[in-house]
Amino acid sequence: MRLPSLRALVRPRLEASAHCDLPCGVYDPAQARIEAESVKAIQEKYQANEDPEFRARAVVIKEQRSELVKHHLWVLWTDYFKAPHFEKYPQLHDLFNRATKAAGAAGTKGTMDPAKGQELLDLIAEIDKIFWETKQG
């Protein structure tokens, strides 16, 4: 009698595939938008306050929130969106690149200008629109 090999015993019997790393319900551009709204609000409060201690804290918190925006965008870009999305929306890679840069040192992370916060929010709104279109189909 011939015994099955170890490889045959541990070989998967069923192959499964999924669009996302986890169920799609965990992905949502709202996470990036909420952090970006916080960034813009901090920038506005900074502009309206002359207290140096308040301003120093505002800069630190704004930089942390900007980093969270980048994180949430990267998760969407790398985990949720797949090749068929990038084929249907050829501007998507550029849009994510511009949005993450808008949250970085050249954007909200590096300035206290609320206009930069609004630019970031506008880019996230474009991503949000495409995201929800992909959820429809």
DSSP code per residue over the chain? -PPPPHHHHHS-SS----SSSS-GGG--THHHHHHHHHHHHHHHHHHT---HHHHHHHHHHHHHHHHHHHHHHHHIIIII--HHHHHH-TTHHHHHHHHHHHTSTTTGGG---HHHHHHHHHHHHHHHHHHHHHHH-
Confidence (pLDDT) at 61: 98
Q: What is the pLDDT of residue 20?
A: 52
**Domain residue ranges in the chain:** 27-135
Q: Mean of the pLDDT values across residues 93-122?
A: 97
pLDDT digits (tens, 9 = 90+) for 71-98: 999 999 999 999 999 999 999 999 999 9
Quote the CATH superfamily of domain 27-135.
Nickel-containing superoxide dismutase (1.20.120.400)
Q: What is the pLDDT of residue 26?
A: 80
Contact 85, 92 (CB under 8 A): yes
Is residue 11 scored above 60 in pLDDT? Answer: yes
